[in-house]
Amino acid sequence: MAVKIRLRRMGQKKAPYYRIVVSDSHSPRDGKFIEEIGIYDPNTDPSTFKVNEELAKKWLANGAQPTEAVGKLLKAAGIEK
């Protein structure tokens, strides 16, 4: 099973916020996920995000691949692979 760390879109039309989730790569973007590890809100100024570092490091160590957007957020949080 290929596991990805990616963004799950939530919120109303034209006002999205995202949850950072660990999911199977074959599941849909807003579908079933394994675990939620953080949030990202681009609507605030400046944009806010919170990541549970322990869970992120655990999943990265177990082989989960972050998407491009999540990789940038993790890098900004100081979490490297």
Domain assignment present for 31: yes
The one-letter amino acid at 3? V
Burial class (CB in 10 A: 0-12, 13-18, 19+), 6: buried
What mean pLDDT, rounded, does the chain reach? 91
Domain-located, residue 81: no
Sheet holding 15-24, edge to edge: 48-51, 35-41, 15-24, 3-12, 65-66
pTM, rounded to two decimals: 0.88
Q: Could you tell me which residues are beta bridge partners of residue 50?
A: 39
- The number of distinct structural domains making up the chain is 1
How far is residue 43's CA from residue 80's CA, in Å, rounded to a whole number?
Answer: 25
Determine the pLDDT at residue 31: 85
CATH of the domain at 61: 3.30.1320.10
Residue 28 confidence class, pLDDT cut points 50, 70, 90: confident
The residue range of the domain holding 60 is: 3-76
Q: What is the rounded distance in angstroms from the CA atom of residue 49 to the CA atom of residue 71?
A: 13
